[in-house]
Amino acid sequence: MTRTLVVIGHGMVGHRLTDLLRDSGWRIVVFGEESRPAYDRVALSSYVDTWSSADLELPALSGCELRLGEKVVSVDRDRRVVVGASGVEISYDALVLATGSVPFVPPVPGRDLPGCHVYRTIDDLDDIRATVEAADRPGRKSGMVLGGGLLGLEAANALRGMGVSPHVVELAPRLMPIQVDDGGAGLLKRLVEKLDLTVHTGTSASSIERDGTRLIAKLASGLELDLDVVVFSAGIRPRTDLDLGLELGPRGGYLVDAACRTSDPHVFAIGECAAVEGVTYGLVAPGYSMAEVVADQLSGGARVFPGADVSTKLKLLGVDVASFGDAHAVTEGALEVVVNNAVAGTYSKLVVSDDARILLGGVLVGDASSYLSLRPLVGKEVPAALLQPGGAVDVEMPADAQVCSCLAVTKQTITDAIQSGVACDVAELKACTKAGTGCGSCVPMLKKLLTECGVEQSKALCEHFTHSRAELFEIVQATRITTFSDLVSKHGTGRGCDICKPAVASILASLGNGHILGEAQVSLQDTNDKFLANLQRNGTYSVVPRIPGGEITPEKLIVIGEVARDYGLYTKITGGQRIDLFGATVDQLPEIWRRLVDAGFESGHAYGKSLRTVKSCVGTTWCRYGVQDSVGLAIELELRYRGLRSPHKLKSAVSGCARECAEARSKDFGVIATENGWNLYVAGNGGFTPRHADLLVSDVDTETLIRVIDRFLMFYIRTADRLQRTAAWLEGLDGGLDHLREVVVDDKLGICADLEAAMASHVSDYADEWRGVLEDPEKLARFTSFVNAPGVPDPTISFRAERGQRVPVSLGIPEVVR
């Protein structure tokens, strides 16, 4: 009989548990108090960038019963029944409490006044925004954040994003008192104060009063602050208001054993509401670890909570902060090795045992790049070089060191996977070891381990070139070589192959060089490009005319219908909002193009590693909900980038509002309309490995949007590997999205003018490839099946009827030919 699991609470940890048990055979019922599905609360402050909750979404859960917006009012443990606010009663075989925590609000007089908020949910941020927008102060608004810990600085950053200058008030004598020591905190304070924050440490708010439209906060230090908004982020408390009659831990939280089980064997608790053997954790990684424990227990396993690594590495207000192990040197006899470089703005402290042999912990501020190598060494012998001034931090990691602390994956597990041949790249490592699938901070370390294990992540294109595609691009661009023969004789070996020839053809085409079927290029093209059509299984081709944005007149639709009818072509609507005509022989292609070109069509490049379509929803012109003209923009983009040869195909879409009917976030570049302009998302993918596109810029006008897309596409074209879609390219790009933004938005490399010029020249040089063949007798002559019998059709091609259309007769299998 199917057993039922009830999960109370739908935060990140509850979501992880439900996801882990997806195919376990349990019926899962989830109660979530918030009206929206679980979201990435760790990234909450980034909500301010777009005000789109979709950007924080976690992968949708399947196979569970989600009861959103429904609070649990009681649990009858004797009958094993959960009662929801709607009156619904669900019987359970196992119950998991994942109720999370509530913000701690210190008992300051005035804390309930309008304009005072906590910082925990998307709704809280919406409320803070409403307060800020209602404030009537001219210029920058003024705010106060109570709490100078990790969460407080996040909240301060969110306020900055709303145009508020924040005061950060921390009771302890320094910022981030839990993670960072005095020296590190001193530097941190100096760095964040450059960012328009005012830090008040060693004091607290003694009262908050309303004065007209303002709030006046009096600090214990005697200072008075004139404010528009107050945010409490002074810590969290485990949420246990649902009373099950269970024992609580000494600092709150449902008391559980190492298996995350309460004293009732049917009831578990995980995440911030759980006190595992009395200890509560306010970080997501230990919560995930608890979810894994319970998922294992519910699947018949015996896993227990391994203890948590509360090390942290984060970027707060652009400042790297990391803390690991015994950061405060509380171990008896512990020694500290401190390097405080006030000029460079970096601080590092290593804590070692009294004999200076064992690394115990450390603090890094300003530059935390050595965190990944240092953290796994905690509890291990410390390499002597580390303790020398300017000592190397690139040290050998012991086999049992944890590389991924979110999912507790050791170096040994990873190197085993690499050496056994199970995993040859980061993506495969993620899939088989789960390392890097939590916060992702260990991904650079995974790359390093791959290299150390001798996995030659060879960039050589093929046996004929030792260069990567990006290097060949640079060579071709710099030397202005225009033929493959020239390139392979000067920079490669042999006569080339089906890998390097089309890659070089694509590079030559990206850099101009005329029609792709020109004398020097035609022999490099894969058959699709060679015939400007898509080869099908029986040796015939399909033809796709461009229909920009999916908009087409009835007259043009009729022409397509007539052409299909006259040549007996099978027709199908594509996923990219156009029409594919199948079953044309080589000889028929030019005749078909002639009819289409005469009617105003051009090549749709369905055959090319180039822009396919820019899909669109119907937008403001018709749609009641649209906020921008999505069709108009889609057509503009499709006409701008048509014919652009790239390392792989490019797909795009434009949605006219946040409902996202055009599915832009599954595209290489997708645009979603906002009230103020456009949001640009990049590097999305459908297909084998779906990937949601990442937000690159938001609320930009059309001119800015196009400029950023120009740069993005040209940067991709110049640096990606052969047949590497934008999604894989961005995943492998050192520095990831941040680096991409630095290059194509902030122009950190100073190449944007060049990228824009290259795109401008593409746009001005564009010409329809079909027309180019029709106007050139030499190119036309190649479109014959047989050199000794022009006009004679290929006898191997035959068709049969299916649902009223012609389809190929399977080759090699005898069938009646009609």
Binding site residues, another protein, CB under 8 A? 463-464, 485, 494-498, 500-502, 519, 522-524, 526-527, 530-531, 535, 537-539, 785-789, 792, 794-797, 811-812
HSE value, Cβ hemisphere, 13 Å, CA-based, for 166: 29
Residues in CB range of 716: below 8 A, 6 or more apart: 646, 647, 726, 729
Residues 718-747, buried b or exposed e (16+ Cβ, 10 A)? Answer: bbbbbebbbbbbbbbbeebeeebbebbbee
Nearer to another protein, 115 or 492 (CB): 492
Rg (CA), the chain: 31
Nearer to another protein, 2 or 788 (CB): 788
Q: Report the nearest approach of another protein to the CB of residue 510 (Å).
A: 19
Question: What is the per-residue DSSP string for 396-411?
Answer: PPPTTSEEETTTTEEH
Nearer to another protein, 212 or 791 (CB): 791
Q: Report the nearest approach of another protein to the CB of residue 579 (Å).
A: 24
Q: Report the nearest approach of another protein to the CB of residue 439 (Å).
A: 40
Q: Report the nearest approach of another protein to the CB of residue 484 (Å).
A: 9
Q: Report the nearest approach of another protein to the CB of residue 668 (Å).
A: 24
Q: Report the nearest approach of another protein to the CB of residue 528 (Å).
A: 8
Strand order in the sheet with 89-91: 72-76, 81-84, 89-91
Q: Are 807 and 799 in contact (CB under 8 A)?
A: yes
Closest CA to 730 of 405, 370, 462, 440: 440
Q: Report the nearest approach of another protein to the CB of residue 495 (Å).
A: 5
Closest CA to 188 of 274, 375, 314, 46: 314
Q: How far apart are CA 277 and CA 305, in angstroms?
A: 10
The 3-state DSSP class for residue 380 equals coil
Nearer to another protein, 231 or 488 (CB): 488
Nearer to another protein, 163 or 494 (CB): 494
Nearer to another protein, 750 or 795 (CB): 795
Hey, CA dihedral for 484, 489, 495, 500, is it positive or negative?
negative
Nearer to another protein, 186 or 808 (CB): 808
Q: Report the nearest approach of another protein to the CB of residue 483 (Å).
A: 12
Q: Report the nearest approach of another protein to the CB of residue 462 (Å).
A: 9
Q: How far apart are CA 415 and CA 433, in angstroms?
A: 10
Closest CA to 654 of 676, 688, 681: 681
Q: Report the nearest approach of another protein to the CB of residue 793 (Å).
A: 10
Q: How far apart are CA 252 and CA 575, in angstroms?
A: 54
Block residue for tokens 């294992």:
296
Nearer to another protein, 343 or 787 (CB): 787
How are beta strands 81-84 and 89-91 bridged, if at all?
Answer: antiparallel
Q: Report the nearest approach of another protein to the CB of residue 4 (Å).
A: 49
Q: State how far the alpha carbon of 657 is from the alpha carbons of 54, 622, 636, 692, 796, in Å.
A: 13, 13, 18, 17, 50
Q: Are 596 and 604 in contact (CB under 8 A)?
A: no
Q: How far apart are CA 132 and CA 144, in angstroms?
A: 12
Q: How far apart are CA 721 and CA 503, in angstroms?
A: 9
Nearer to another protein, 296 or 526 (CB): 526
Nearer to another protein, 75 or 504 (CB): 504
Nearer to another protein, 34 or 721 (CB): 721
